[in-house]
Structure 1
Amino acid sequence: MKINDESPVLLALLDAAVDAMVVSDHAGNILRVNQAAAVLFGYSVDALVGQNVRMLMPDAMASRHDGFLRHHLETGEKRIIGMGRDVEGLRSDGRVFPLHLSVGRADISGEVAFVGIMHDLSRRKAAEEATARSQRMDAIGQMTGGIAHDFNNLLTVVIGNLELLEMAETSEKSGALISDALEAAEVGADLTSRLMVFARKSTLNAEVIDLNAEVFKAVAMLNRTIGAHIAVDTDFANDLWQAKIDATQLQTAVLNIALNAQDAMPSGGHIKLETRNMQLDDTYVAQEIGIDMGNYIRLSIADAGEGMSAGTRTRAMEPFFSTKPVGQGTGLGLSMVYGFIKQSGGHIAIYSEVGEGTTISLYFPALADAIQRNADLRHDREQHEQIGAGLRVLLVEDDPMVLRLSETRLKSLGFLCVTATSGDAAWEVLKARNDIDVVFTDLVMPGELSGHALARRVAKEMPHIRILITSGFSENVLRGKDTDGGFSILQKPYRQVDLAKAFRALFES
């Protein structure tokens, strides 16, 4: 048997494998790949066969690959053969990502073949980074709490003695100096109290509240303080569940986030606040690290401003971290919000892209009857099963973890699934096929065609194809920026039943 024979066993093995598999000859030329490998690297199967495996490696590794192969074939030394190691892969869009590679050798009819089995480590690395961030924030919180506690003791002594001096001193000049010192000490006391909030050591006055009403009060205060170039809009759910929250801290959090949003839109714009009931199941936990399954109230505050880079998002909630010029911010606003949310048993998520704006979502545990809601959720799932039976969907998503999760979700609804990792690649698929019924695309995509640009082109040139857009940005911000063009929008994160309902509404419209 030749290594390039169409072996039914080999083909079945490749198709059944969950991990990526690549079979190459002695020179590294690709003979076979499975669908998992094509999805992992962002190519079609046909585009990979016949190419050299170097195309799947970053330049530093690719330049040494031929030397590794030649050394092994000449000496028989097994540097990587038969053992696994963590390396980096190169996707079709130029992004480098972590993966675990195991290589095996087969000698068939005098010919040498290599089989590479690859497992994407992006999710594990993301989880490790999220855990490290959480541990770093906890460590910073413990240190900050200890420092704030000691400073509070010192400031108590300083303020007390200054007040005694102020009562005893009759000199006008000395009185002015004492008054200035007292004012500075009180500013220091206010700073330490805010640090205590971040450290989750402040005392919360949590009560069962109507979150909509409390946010409305914050909006009223915001309208009196925010610049005239900023408009504040709200979209409150009518059937919002109840939660046990410190109302004052909630209003402070809203003001902090909204004022940051104002700073991100120096030329003006809209701030949108919306509330929703959220049932977070295991599919959500797969996307969002650090929150338990359950029932939550989500408060989203969104702007269409400058947005954040990945590095800024990572550090945004650290105390004293600020992108503003010196003297224009303490860097404690989001830190206080973070401490308040965590102390309330909730979660904070930041979704932002440079130039596209920011949506910050606060999740508070709901007090409503979880058993009844979970029963309703099961009923909804049963109602929407197989909604996509017989239909083919083109899934467009550049994040590999979200791509795999979304593909699984779509298949569970009965859809036949075709994938693309960019708007440009999706358009090529659409031009080459005539069996696509619906396009399901993320909004922010690499390449020339964003998700929205792709949707517009499909609507114009292929009007028979249905289009559903998904994004982590607030739906109100998307519509406020006129980026939807009348397309249906599903906001991330979403449950399986939300996905099914979105498609049902799309097909019935």
Structure 2
Amino acid sequence: MPADTKNTALLQAVFDAAVDAIIVADQAGIITSANAASSQVFGYSTEEMLGQNVTMLMPESEAVRHDDYMARYLETHERRVIGSGREVQGKRADGSVFPLYLSIGELEVEGKPTFVAILHDLTKRIEAQEALARAQRMEAFGQLTGGLSHDFNNLLTVIVGNLELLEMRLEGDAHQELIADALEAAEVGAEVTSRLLAFARRAVLTPESININKALNLKALKDLTGSLGPRHKLVSKLQLEVWKIAVDVTQLQTAVQNLIENARDAMPDGGTVNIETRNVEIDAAQAAQDVDLKPGRYVALSVTDAGNGMPNEVQRQVFDPFFTTKPRGKGVGLGMSMIYGFVKQSGGHITINSESDRGSTVTLYFPALPERADDAEAMPGPSPSIGHGELVMVVEDDDRVRRLTCERIQNLGFRVIEATSAQQAYDLLQTTPDIALVFTDILMPGAMSGYELAQRVRHDLPDMKILLTSGYAGELLHDARQRLEFPLLRKPYRQSDLATHLQALFPAR
């Protein structure tokens, strides 16, 4: 085989095997050759590109610059710098604009200039950069939020608890109304903190092994439908045999309610909100198409509307805390950020498919549990009579919270003993054999946390009842897929919440 023929065959093999798009065009910008990767990058077949001007692959702004350059070149033969790369915008067959890195070479073919463009799709790289930047923002935001929320939730616990004690002691409708308003305001404050922690993936979650359809039962869907109003309706399409997942049911229902309300707001003139569940198996090829998505079995939950949709610039910011497109007073911009953090902390993934004036579909992916995962046991409701004089050790370093907690527990029929640190509590256990329950905050001063105290007590005293509480658990509970081995009561909590947990530990006799 002659050398020229070998070289030509070699160049053709490189041309065909290249993973980047290679476009060859003449001096008029007409495409004379395009490799297979060009079709994957731009969405046109090779036949559709051949004979067309390269401006078909450019958005209008890039096409104008290209035409200006080619006009000057044909008139003056003044070349731009060849071989130097730069970032440009490309346009796919579906009209979408995306980033490219462009390098151009020039050669003479039969005495005429021919241009060879090598184009590398930057979409994945930019998505990865944005994901990294979002993760860094989230980490910084989480550190700030976590430090504040621990103290803030302790304050709210004191406020809510003392208001409830006043509610029991004061008589008169005027007093009751004032207390009810104050309690409602405190709960709103707790919800804001909860959403901030959820976004930062520092929420204290209590995951359960559930069937997602049962969590979105008829009553829950009816309640959600009630929030839509008369001009909207909710249509559900729930796959019958969905795999089980491990999620915090309360957070899941809150997330779905936020999505449905967002869908409602996107259709001000009315319309249908569709909610769907289905099993999904993501293979390696599919996972490679989306940053942070891993191969495996998932249960997907989608909420779809036919509303205004979201332009690209809104989609890029939609998960940022306090970002909202709603009018002042209609939202604080924490709904989508809370959903994002909750899904990520649950080991899942979230996607948005949306176009302006064509509606939106938000899909939450939750990892499926092994098929033999046990169902979580339902917690029984509180009984009017709970304690029978059993001794409860309250482990809490905040004096106000500890005093309040002791009074609340005594009101439920228990005796109490106090400890201000995990080490003091552990020492008291050695000298006080009649303690029946250790009720400890997770974050404690000193070398031993409340969680470490619980683990040591479980090891030394396997029959000891243990109840944890926290408004922020730091790095302890980052992965919601790991089921906590101790019951957990989240701060701030109502007296009824405390009663429910104690009832589960001390069933009525």
Q: Normalising to structure 1: TM-score of the pair?
A: 0.59
What do residues 42-70 of structure 1 show as CA deviations (whole Å, max 9, x unaligned)? 66656766676577561564266359969
SS of the residue corresponding to residue 360 of structure 2 reads strand
Equivalent position of 1:202 in the other structure? 203
> Per-residue deviation at 1:302?
1.7
Aligned to 2:121: 120
Q: Deviations over 1:335-358 (max 9, x none)?
A: 222222122111122222222222
| Mapping for residues 40-439 of structure 1, pairs under 5 Å | 40-41=41-42, 58-59=62-63, 61-62=65-66, 65-66=69-70, 79-81=81-83, 83-89=84-90, 96-106=97-107, 113-152=114-153, 184-185=185-186, 187-216=188-217, 217-369=219-371
Identity %: 49
Report which of the two structures shows the higher radius of gyration computed on alpha carbons: 2
Q: 2 CA distance for matches of 1:160 and 1:44?
A: 68
C-alpha distance 154-63 of structure 1, shift in aligned 2 (>3 A): farther
Unpaired segments ≥5 residues, structure 1: 1-6, 371-509
- Helix, strand or coil: the match of 1:130? helix
Deviations 1:137-184 (A, max 9, x none): 4433433333433444565677789999999999x9999999977765
* Distance in structure 1 (CA, Å) of the matches to 2:28 and 2:306: 51
Q: Which structure ranks higher in relative contact order (CA pairs < 8 Å, sequence separation ≥ 6)?
A: 2
1:257-281 deviation line (CA, Å, top 9, x unaligned): 1122222222222222211111111
Q: CA deviation at 1:315?
A: 1.9
- Aligned letter for 1:281? D
AA at the equivalent of 1:203: V
**Corresponding residue of 2:464:** none
Query: Residues 55 and 62 of structure 1 are in contact (CA less than 8 Å); yes or no, is this contact kept in structure 2?
Result: no
Distance in 2 between the 1:151 and 1:362 partners?
A: 30
The alpha carbon displacement at 1:197 in A equals: 2.5
1:156-215 CA-partner distances (Å, limit 9, x unpaired):
677789999999999x99999999777655543442233223222222121111211111
1:288 partner amino acid: D
* Other structure's SS at 1:312 match: helix
Range with greater deviation from structure 2 (103-112 or 330-339)? 103-112
Change (3 A) 1:281 1:46: closer
Q: 2:82 touches 2:106 (CA, 8 Å); kept in 1?
A: no
Cα deviation, residue 25, structure 1:
5.2
**2-side partners of 1:203 and 1:314: how far apart?**
27
Cα distance, 1:365 vs. partner? 1.0
- 3-state DSSP class of the match of 1:297? strand
Residue 210 of structure 2 aligns with an amino acid whose one-letter code is I
Residue 91 of structure 1 and its aligned partner are, at CA, apart by 5.6
For 1:321, give the aligned amino acid.
F
Structure 1, 120-129 or 181-190: larger mean CA deviation? 181-190
1:268-310 deviations in whole A, cap 9, x for unaligned?
2222221111111112212222221111111112222222222
Distance 1:92 1:222 in 2: 40
| Distance (Å, rounded) in 2 between the aligned partners of 1:74 and 1:319 | 50
1:40–1:120 CA contact under 8 A, matched in 2: yes
Superimposed CA distance per residue, residues 87-137 of structure 1 (whole angstroms, 9 cap, x where no aligned partner):
444567776542223333445676654433222223322333333334334
Say whether the 8 Å CA contact 2:244–2:371 is kept in structure 1: no
Residues of 1 paired with 2:166 and 2:236: CA distance? 51
Q: Helix, strand or coil for the counterpart of 2:327?
A: coil
**What amino acid does structure 1 have at the position aligned with 2:323?**
F
Matching residue's letter, 1:271: V
Structure 2 counterparts to residues 7-22 of structure 1, below 5 A:
14-22=15-23
Q: Per the alignment, in what secondary structure is the counterpart of residue 255 of structure 2?
A: helix
- RMSD over aligned CA atoms reads 4.3
Letter in 2 for 1:197: A
Q: Deviations over 1:374-410 (max 9, x none)?
A: xxxxxxxxxxxxxxxxxxxxxxxxxxxxxxxxxxxxx
- Over 3 Å counting, the alpha-carbon distance change for 1:339 and 1:65 in structure 2 is same
CA 1:360–1:97 in 2, change beyond 3 Å: closer, same or farther? Answer: closer
Q: Decide whether the 8 Å contact of 1:272 with 1:302 is kept in 2.
A: yes
Alignment partners' CA distance in 1, 2:303 and 2:109: 62
Instruction: Give the CA deviation at 1:362.
Output: 1.3
- Within 1, Cα distance between the matches of 2:224 and 2:94? 43
Query: Residue 290 of structure 1 aligns to a residue in which SS?
Result: coil
Q: Distance in 2 between matches of 1:115 and 1:189?
A: 61
SS state of the match for residue 327, structure 1? coil
Letter in 1 for 2:280: M
Q: Which moved more, 1:205-214 or 1:20-29?
A: 20-29
Question: Quick one: structure 1 residues 206 and 22, their matched pair in 2 at CA, closer, same or farther if it must change by over 3 Å?
Answer: closer
Matched ranges for 1:30-49 at <5 A: 31-37=32-38, 40-41=41-42
In structure 1, what residue type is equivalent to 2:307? G
Q: Give the TM-score of the pair, scaled to structure 2.
A: 0.59
**Amino acid of the residue matched to residue 208 of structure 1?**
S
Whether the aligned pair in 1 keeps the contact of 2:72 and 2:78 (CA below 8 Å) is no
- 3-state SS in 2 of match to 1:321: coil
Residues 156, 310 of structure 1: CA spacing in aligned structure 2 closer, same or farther, 3 A cutoff?
Answer: same
